[in-house]
């Protein structure tokens, strides 16, 4: 790490960069409360509607590894400028789109720009803050990103109702594109007095080995599955299907549905800094916290799918959404694992690999839920959503299984390193179940 303490300038640079991430979260989740309007505007059903999210998030996932390589090659400042311009252009195009095909193109551009933000912010945090502060800054970044989520719930619903589709998204897109000038002016790659990293072109033939080297690290693989399981459920509800589910299956009014959906954001914003402080000060608690959350998530989905009659009381809905929301800050464990077990020159690439996990899960489940809703259309709305959400539970259970598998393997790699006399970032104690797994 180039610094051993945080500075005011470092905090200023980080705050300028994290504002781009806040905008990215707003644009990413803006379709969540606008999904019913989008269905009417473009004249499409659930499966076609889910394609908006599948395309946007699918491109986000595909862009994670290239983004890591771009950040390693060109630096986070230029990548963030490009991200703000692309997101602004995509949202302006979405505001003016009158056909389904143009709307798809707009969400594709937005998804590419969105994909460039998080890895860039983490790289700046790694450069401007010492290791003991990295996890706290990372979770604080994610929590502030929740502000973008929050604006994309109740406030966006009210704005859409009063200003209309075109004006709402046009203003949001133009403001984001204009902010790229602030990023170019204020953000710097490294602290004052620290030489900038040498940016060497990576030959195409070297891309595969570089990604493979990150993937071979058990900590990276574990980070992938932690992100896959913990981040995907709350994000799926916030991005697309939570609002229609609350309105159509639970019978809530649009303002009431927005209020429940905002629980995902408020809880994540409050829990984020707390979670960051805990996993920074007690790194040995990281995986037990992840496994505990996954158990809670399984119970929450059992309530959503198994409640008699399918319509839950409002307090239960609030409680379930609040508990599922904790997955957002918990997913930060994935990036702490990547940061600990990869060398600095490969951190951005490995971060991109781990970040693919949750968005790959969202891409798959968003599409399958839309298809199953079309198939289950003859059923009553609560039953149709029960059928569709079974796919979400199936993906969650697969992720739980793989997380446990790679937790055991990552622990085994740490024990092997300790046996060789090597220093490890986070020492772990052998447990009885480690011996049983090895037997």
Residues 6+ away with beta carbon under 8 Å from 176: 23, 27, 84, 87, 88, 91
Per-residue pLDDT tens digits for 381-407: 888 999 999 999 999 999 999 999 998
CA distances from 251 to 368, 407, 429 (A): 23, 41, 50
**Angstrom distance (rounded) from CA 40 to CA 309:** 29
Per-residue pLDDT tens digits for 124-173: 888 888 877 777 787 788 778 777 777 766 677 788 888 888 888 899 89
Confirm if 342 and 119 have CB atoms less than 8 A apart: no
* pLDDT score of 39: 84
Three-state SS at 75: coil
* pLDDT score of 47: 77
Run of H or E residues at 196: none
Q: What is the pLDDT along the chain (439 residues), one digit of tens a residue?
A: 456 677 888 889 999 999 999 999 888 878 877 877 888 888 888 878 888 878 888 888 888 778 877 887 788 899 999 999 999 999 999 999 989 999 999 999 999 999 899 889 988 888 888 877 777 787 788 778 777 777 766 677 788 888 888 888 899 899 999 999 999 999 888 776 666 665 555 565 666 777 888 888 888 999 999 999 998 888 888 877 888 899 989 999 888 888 888 888 788 878 877 887 787 778 888 899 999 999 999 999 999 999 988 889 999 999 999 999 999 889 888 988 887 888 766 777 788 788 888 888 988 888 888 889 888 888 888 889 999 999 999 999 999 999 999 988 888 887 777 777 666 676 677 766 666 555 4
* pLDDT score of 192: 65
Confirm if 107 and 55 have CB atoms less than 8 A apart: yes
Angle value at C-alpha 437, between 435 and 438, nearest 5 degrees: 65
Confirm if 335 and 138 have CB atoms less than 8 A apart: yes
Residue 142 is encoded by which pair of tokens? 């994610």
Superfamily holding 8-438: MFS general substrate transporter like domains (1.20.1250.20)
Confirm if 342 and 350 have CB atoms less than 8 A apart: yes
Look up the pTM and report it. Answer: 0.76
**Angstrom distance (rounded) from CA 217 to CA 254:** 46
Which sequence spans correspond to the domains of the chain?
8-438
Residue 339 is encoded by which pair of tokens? 């940061």
* pLDDT score of 439: 46
Run of H or E residues at 218: helix 218-230
* pLDDT score of 180: 94
User: In 3D, which of 312, 324, 298 has the Cα closest to residue 397?
Assistant: 298
């Amino acid at each position: 790490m180039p610094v051993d303490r945080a500075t005011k300038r470092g905090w200023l640079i980080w705050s300028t960069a994290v504002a781009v991430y806040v905008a990215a979260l707003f644009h990413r989740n803006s379709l969540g409360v606008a999904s019913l309007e989008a269905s009417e505007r473009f004249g499409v059903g659930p499966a076609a509607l889910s394609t908006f999210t599948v395309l946007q998030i699918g491109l986000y996932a595909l862009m994670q590894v290239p983004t890591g390589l771009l950040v390693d090659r060109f630096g986070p400042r230029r990548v963030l400028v490009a991200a703000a311009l692309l997101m602004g252009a995509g949202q302006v195009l979405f505001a003016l789109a009158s056909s389904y095909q143009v709307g798809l193109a707009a969400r594709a551009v937005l998804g590419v720009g969105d994909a460039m933000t998080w890895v860039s912010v983490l790289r700046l945090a790694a450069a401007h803050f010492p290791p003991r502060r990295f996890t706290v800054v990372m979770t604080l970044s994610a929590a502030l990103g929740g502000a973008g989520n929050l604006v994309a719930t109740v406030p966006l619903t009210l704005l859409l109702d009063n200003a209309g589709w075109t004006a709402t998204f046009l203003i949001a897109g133009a403001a984001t594109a204009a902010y790229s000038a602030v990023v170019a002016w204020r953000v710097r790659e490294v602290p004052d007095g620290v030489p900038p990293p040498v940016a060497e072109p990576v030959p195409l033939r070297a891309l595969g080995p570089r990604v493979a080297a990150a993937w071979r690290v058990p900590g990276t693989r574990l980070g992938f599955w932690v992100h896959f399981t913990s981040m995907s459920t709350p994000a799926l509800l916030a991005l697309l299907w939570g609002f229609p589910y609350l309105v159509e299956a639970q019978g809530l009014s649009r303002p009431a549905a927005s209020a429940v959906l905002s629980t995902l954001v408020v809880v994540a914003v409050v829990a984020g800094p707390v979670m960051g402080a805990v996993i920074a000060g007690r790194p040995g608690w990281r995986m037990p916290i992840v496994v505990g959350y996954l158990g809670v998530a399984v119970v929450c989905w059992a309530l959503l799918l198994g409640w008699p009659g399918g319509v839950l009381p409002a307090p239960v809905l609030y409680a379930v959404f609040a508990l599922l929301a904790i997955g957002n800050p918990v997913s930060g464990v994935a990036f702490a694992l990547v940061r600990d077990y990869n060398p600095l020159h490969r951190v951005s690439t490995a971060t991109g690999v781990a970040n693919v996990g949750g968005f790959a899960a969202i891409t798959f489940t968003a599409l399958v839920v839309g298809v199953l809703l079309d198939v289950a259309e003859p059923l009553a709305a609560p039953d149709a959503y029960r059928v569709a959400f079974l796919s979400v539970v199936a993906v969650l259970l697969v992720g739980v299984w793989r997380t446990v598998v790679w937790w055991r393997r990552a622990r085994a790699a740490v024990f092997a390193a300790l046996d060789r006399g090597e220093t490890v970032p986070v020492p772990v104690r052998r447990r009885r179940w480690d011996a049983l797994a090895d037997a």
